[in-house]
Structure 1
Amino acid sequence: MRRMDQLHVNDAVAAALHQGRPVVALESTIITHGMPYPDNLETARDVEQAIREK
């Protein structure tokens, strides 16, 4: 099995890569282990939205 066959790439990410647009990967340890629920979920959504608006 090829390595890429083991990885799912979101359609929006694939389109951005195909069009030469930037793609951002977020480190999530602080969200998954460092923040209490529901603050962690709200923070993750806020960060994603801020990036998408740029």
Structure 2
Amino acid sequence: MNLAARLRLRRNSSTRPRTNKALQEAIDSASSPALRDELLIIAQRHNLLNR
């Protein structure tokens, strides 16, 4: 595995938990039910929840 591939792997594994946490916080603090539903739809579409 070359250096670029290792850096991509490290970046992906380290940013995914922060992304999921930020997404979950945004869903939890959504100002309206419609916004919350839209965030949930986007997260499901991109398979970002429950990882």
TM range (shorter): 0.3 to 0.5
TM-score, normalised via structure 2 length: 0.36
